[in-house]
Chains A and B, each alone.
Chain A
Amino acid sequence: MSLFLLNDIVVFIFIEVILLLLLFISEFSVLKVLKYWDFSATTTFQYALEKRNYLVNTIIYFTVSVKIVLFIFFVKSLDELSLLVPGAMCATGVIGANSYGNILLLFKIFMLFLLSIWIIINKLDLESKVFPYIKEKYYLFSFIFVLTCIEFCLELFYFMNIPLSVPVFCCSTVFKLDNLPFELNTSGLLIIYYLLFVVILISSYYKKSIISFFANILFLFTSYYAVTYFFGTYIYELPNHKCPFCMLQKEYFYVGYFIWFSLFLGVFFGISPYIIESITLKKYTYLHKYCILFTTIFVALSTYFVVSYYLKNGVLL
């Protein structure tokens, strides 16, 4: 019995292969453009290259939209795999079933970040008539292409190595110890969490990209620990249930999707202005307001569970 016979996995790999093929076709165009691009030339070849630009754009737009859908599908499939993998109660067990799982998940999130940044740079590039960032964006594309190939290999290795007979560890074991980094305790973590939130709000409001960039990266890690070790327990209403994935399940009204997506969107809009500015060397502050919006949603949502628990029961966990 191999997991490769599972409907979801078959479909998933099939679509990933199609995307890889499309990216491969555009990488071919990209290499040509990178090599021969000369905007001042008036040859037919240069015009042909400019037209190829459209193909790459179309393919990337398509890839990003499909990747977002596939990412949700991937997480959902992991949740369902937990029925098949012995010992797994939720996606934690399935992701942790071998050493590729966690890397793959991080990789996927990172890829979505990169692709979205590419789209923004592409938009800036097309808005100006002289294609000012074409080299930068195509180097970035080639980098994305290489990463996609690595991601695909990781996927294959990951699915090939999920054990179906040996029980795996699940959230009750993986997150049992309070192994917060730098020997923080919960209150310290929460102070950092809310402090960072305030820093992000202020830096985004005054459009200070570099502060927002570092604050958001720190916030991403702090939030991961805060949600897993503190806010999660209020969502589950159990002091010992510490898991970032169980909240994605039906029992908790899929609230996990809202929590994690608002965090990722907020962090994305928080860090991308700085990255775009360092590539285009121009100020780009348009996205800060979305950062404020999504980060606020995230913090409000996570705080809501603690407050409502306290109001209902009169005590904290």
Chain B
Amino acid sequence: MINKNFVDFSILLLLKDKKEYLFSFFIFTFIVFLASSILFISDSIKHDLFIALDKQHQIIVKNTKSGRYTPLSEEHIDSILQISGVDNVKGKVDGYYYFAQDRRYFHIVVDESLDEHSMIISSEIKSILAKFKYTTQFNFLTQDGITSLDIKKVIKSNIISNDVILVNEDIARKILNMDEDEYSYLDVLVPNNSEIDFISLKIVDLYPDIKVKTKNDLKSDYEYVFYYKGGIFMILYIVSMISFFILLKNQISSVFGEKKREIAIFRSIGFAIKDIIFLKFIQNSVVALCSYFLGVFLAYIFVFIFGAPLLKNIFLGHDASHIIFTPIVDVKTLFVMFIFTVIPFLASILLPAWKIAVEDMSEVIK
């Protein structure tokens, strides 16, 4: 009896009784909304990180001394260049400047296109500086006195650029108090991807103190962090979902209980038991799908248009008020959300639907 008319009829019946379904509809929408917001946030952050990662060279080399990071020198560059398979080694300057008034660190990154008097800052930093009346320029306190730079441009804050100040290389050395031949890390360019692992082993052979990270290492590091946070959230969330589904089962049972008479009439005009079960199944699938789409849609608006207030602190900590999320919706995430929410929803209505369908109709009609 599965045909269009039957589906139409069940939906018509659903619209007639829509009040009874409102409860499950709203709570389920909220559940989908919360879970998909979290997944959207973590996907978006991951996307930004991976985009940034793609622009890096294949191997990043950092120096350590007694377990702490120390600068690298020209000598390191020269000897790594000797390894066959390495095309180019670039020394990079970057580091953190402590802004004592606001008790936070700014990430100083080199941009060669800038001159010696200007800098580019993120919108997050702009608002911090504005608090201390630095609207057009900012004074860095360095060993050799004050270095004053004009704010040339403000870029959007995303996960990478949130605390970034872009400056000229010489200025960066001055602010970070690094010598001419010192580098924070080295970018090693290896044209042949299959040689990356071998070359990174060779670098470690040369300098046992050096820490080498390949692109893939960084990628799985990021994956770990996000899987970890997402996973903890999911496990906690399951607890609340289970209580919701138990609630739902009871609520559906009581709603169905009120409709006993209606179902008895259906049975007496020739509906089979499996038709009644199917009818209830269609109605609840419609409710579940509508809430699912509404929940995902609301989550999209909440995360990508309003910037997910409150929720983003789970991932980013408290100093992230200006971060925007790049709108990324992965089909896989939607699929995971669908399996995670809609399937348990439908599973929890199977028993009540069966119970009402097999009710003894002569008893009810009496």
**B168: min CB distance to chain A, Å:** 37
Whether B227 contacts A6 by the Cβ 8 Å rule is yes
Docked Cα-Cα span, A25 to B351, in Å, equals: 9
Interface residues as binary, A59-96 with B (CB distance below 8 Å gives 1, 0 otherwise): 10010001001100100100010011010000000000
Within 8 A of A (CB), among B249-285: 273-274, 277, 281
Total A residues in contact with B, Cβ cutoff 8 Å: 31
Whether A11 contacts B220 by the Cβ 8 Å rule is no
Docked Cα-Cα span, A10 to B232, in Å, equals: 9
Counting chain B residues whose Cβ lies within 8 A of the other chain, the interface size class is 20 to 34
Docked Cα-Cα span, A8 to B339, in Å, equals: 10
Instruction: Mark A residues whose CB is within 8 Å of B.
Output: 1, 4-11, 14-15, 18-19, 22, 25, 51, 54-55, 57-59, 62, 66, 69-70, 73, 76, 80, 83-84, 86
16 of the cross-chain contacts (CB-CB < 8 Å) are: A7-B227, A7-B231, A7-B234, A8-B336, A9-B231, A10-B238, A14-B340, A15-B339, A15-B344, A25-B351, A51-B358, A54-B357, A58-B274, A62-B347, A66-B343, A84-B223
**B46: min CB distance to chain A, Å:** 11
Interface residues as binary, B224-252 with A (CB distance below 8 Å gives 1, 0 otherwise): 10011011101100100000000000000
**A49: min CB distance to chain B, Å:** 11
Whether A7 contacts B336 by the Cβ 8 Å rule is yes
Q: Which residues of B contact A70 (CB under 8 A)?
A: 339
Q: Which residues of B contact A15 (CB under 8 A)?
A: 339-340, 343-344
Q: Which residues of B contact A51 (CB under 8 A)?
A: 273, 358
A14 nearest in chain B by CB position: B238
Instruction: Decide yes or no whether B166 CB sits under 8 A from chain A.
Output: no
Whether B227 contacts A5 by the Cβ 8 Å rule is yes
Docked Cα-Cα span, A8 to B226, in Å, equals: 12
A22 nearest in chain B by CB position: B347
Whether A84 contacts B220 by the Cβ 8 Å rule is yes
Whether B350 contacts A11 by the Cβ 8 Å rule is no
Q: Which residues of A contact B231 (CB under 8 A)?
A: 4-7, 9-10
Q: Which of A1, A18, A57, A69 sits near B344, CB closer than 8 Å?
A: A18
**A144: min CB distance to chain B, Å:** 17
Q: Which residues of A contact B335 (CB under 8 A)?
A: 73
Within 8 A of A (CB), among B286-304: none
**A147: min CB distance to chain B, Å:** 20
Q: Beyond the given A5-B235, A11-B234, please list 19 additional residue pairs across the A-B interface where CB-CB is below 8 A.
A: A4-B231, A6-B227, A6-B231, A7-B39, A7-B234, A10-B231, A14-B238, A14-B340, A15-B340, A18-B343, A22-B350, A51-B273, A51-B358, A55-B350, A66-B343, A76-B332, A83-B219, A83-B223, A86-B220
